[in-house]
Amino acid sequence: MAIAFNPTAAKPLRPFASFSLPLMIAFGAILGGALLQTWDMGPGLGMITGAVLAALLGYALSHHLPRKTGRLVSLGLVGVLGFILGGPLGGLVGLIIGALLGWAAYWLTTGDYRRGVPVYSTSGQTLWHNAFKFICGFIFFFLIAPILIVIPLSFNAENFFTFTPGMLALDPDAYSVKHYQDFFTNPNWLQPLKNSLIIAPIATIISVSLGTLAAIGLSQSHVPFRRGIMAILISPMIVPLIISATGMFFFYSQLGLWMEQYLGMSKDLTGYIKVILAHAALGIPFVIITVTATLVGFDRSLTRAAANMGAGPAKTFFKVQMPLILPGVISGGLFAFITSFDEVVVVLFVGAAAQKTLPWQMFTGLREQISPTILAVATVLVFVSICLLTTVELLRRRSERLRGMSPG
Could you write out the three-class secondary structure of the chain? CCCCCCHHHCCCCCCHHHHHHHHHHHHHHHHHHHHHHHHCCCHHHHHHHHHHHHHHHHHHHHHHCCHHHHHHHHHHHHHHHHHHHHHHHHHHHHHHHHHHHHHHHHHHHCCHHHCCCCCCCCHHHHHHHHHHHHHHHHHHHHHHHHHHHHHHHCCECCCCCCCCHHHHCCCHHHECCHHHHHHHHCHHHHHHHHHHHHHHHHHHHHHHHHHHHHHHHHCCCCCCCHHHHHHHHCHHHHCCHHHHHHHHHHHHHHHHHHHHHHCCCCHHHHHHHHHHHHHHHHHHHHHHHHHHHHHCCCCCHHHHHHHHCCCCHHHHHHHHHHHHHHHHHHHHHHHHHHHHHHCCHHHHHHCCHHHCCHHHHHHHHHHHHCCCHHHHHHHHHHHHHHHHHHHHHHHHHHHHHHCCCCCC
Q: Is residue 38 part of a domain?
A: yes
- Whether residues 84 and 210 fall in one domain: no
- Whether residues 202 and 99 fall in one domain: no
Q: Please tell me the predicted confidence (pLDDT) of residue 203.
A: 94
Q: Is residue 269 part of a domain?
A: yes
- Whether residues 209 and 329 fall in one domain: yes
Q: Is residue 168 part of a domain?
A: no
- Whether residues 228 and 321 fall in one domain: yes
Q: Is residue 243 part of a domain?
A: yes
Q: Please tell me the predicted confidence (pLDDT) of residue 211.
A: 92
Q: Please tell me the predicted confidence (pLDDT) of residue 404.
A: 59
Mean per-residue pLDDT over the chain, rounded: 81
Q: Give the residue from 59, 92, 115 where a domain finishes.
A: 115
Q: Please tell me the predicted confidence (pLDDT) of residue 9.
A: 43
Q: Please tell me the predicted confidence (pLDDT) of residue 405.
A: 53
Q: Give the residue from 115, 144, 167 where a domain finishes.
A: 115
CATH of the domain at 356: 1.10.3720.10
Query: Residues of 48-77 as b/e, b for ≥16 C-beta within 10 angstroms?
Result: bbbbebbbebbbebbeebebeebbebbbeb
Q: Which residues of the chain have pLDDT under 70?
A: 1-19, 33-43, 368-369, 399-400, 402-408
- Whether residues 200 and 341 fall in one domain: yes
- Whether residues 192 and 84 fall in one domain: no
Q: Is residue 217 part of a domain?
A: yes
- Whether residues 109 and 192 fall in one domain: no
- Whether residues 280 and 369 fall in one domain: yes
Report the alpha-carbon angle 337-273-248, nearest 5: 80
- pTM, full prediction: 0.72
- Whether residues 225 and 357 fall in one domain: yes
- Whether residues 242 and 360 fall in one domain: yes
Full residue range of the structural domain in which residue 199 is found: 186-402
Q: Please tell me the predicted confidence (pLDDT) of residue 5.
A: 40
Q: Please tell me the predicted confidence (pLDDT) of residue 10.
A: 43
Q: Please tell me the predicted confidence (pLDDT) of residue 1.
A: 42
Q: Give the residue from 57, 84, 115 where a domain finishes.
A: 115
Q: Is residue 200 part of a domain?
A: yes
- Whether residues 109 and 226 fall in one domain: no
The count of domains in the chain is 2
Q: Is residue 125 part of a domain?
A: no
Q: Is residue 17 part of a domain?
A: yes
- Whether residues 269 and 367 fall in one domain: yes
CA distance 352 to 357: 10
- 405, burial (CB in 10 Å: exposed 0-12, middle 13-18, buried 19+): exposed
